[in-house]
Structure 1
């Protein structure tokens, strides 16, 4: 590999997960007779999904709310929806 090619590839490789790349490289080398492309061995660190973390936290909080409170909320929400629908229908 030339120095120029190495300079081009190093930044992309530095962003990857070393252990994951090595695992894929071992598998690739034992399966195929030709050298892999970067895309074939690329493994990037898993990024934290804040939305999923928030959903889990909200679900845990919701599990702590009593069924009676949830039912009261549903009733109030249904009343509000009916009021809004009636209000919109009266506009027409």
Structure 2
């Protein structure tokens, strides 16, 4: 079920959008990357958006350890000025 909600972003706030290929990224020993790992990685990431993207890509690549993925992995990071 989708919920239509409006939020106000303050200057400096960041929004991270991603495809399900991120949370479903897989490693035979580690299982799925999951929303919990993604949330922790976003919380630990620096600003600005370009640095957040680099950190998230590095984290995901370290987790999957080069294992071939079955889905696309896409991030879109927005920062309110």
Q: Specify the TM-score bucket, using the shorter chain as the normaliser.
A: under 0.3
Q: Which structure has more RCO (C-alpha within 8 Å, separation ≥ 6)?
A: 2
The structure that is helix-richer by fraction is 1
- In the superposition, the TM-score normalised over structure 1's length comes to 0.23
The structure that is strand-richer by fraction is 2
- In the superposition, the TM-score normalised over structure 2's length comes to 0.25
